[in-house]
Amino acid sequence: MIVQACINGARSADFHPALPLDADAMARDGAASVAAGAADLHVHARGADRLESLAPA
């Protein structure tokens, strides 16, 4: 069995105040998920504006 943590999804900032929408928050929550047993992370990358983005920067 593989446990996958999906830490933010396509949700906006008003979904929950603790939703990780910047790189630091995603790294923190991803590390906590792995420490709790997740073997895989599913993350929706965000830009500086905290909106979903596939831009390399």
pTM: 0.84
pLDDT of 4 > 90? The answer is yes
Distance in angstroms (rounded) separating the CA atoms of residues 4 and 39 = 6
Distance in angstroms (rounded) separating the CA atoms of residues 47 and 33 = 22
Distance in angstroms (rounded) separating the CA atoms of residues 49 and 22 = 9
What does residue 6 show for φ and ψ, rounded to 5 degrees? -105, 100
List the beta bridge partners of residue 41: 5
pLDDT computed for residue 22 by the predictor? 92
Count how many domains the chain has: 1
pLDDT tens, residue by residue, 20-37 = 999 999 999 999 999 999
- Domain interval for residue 55: 1-57
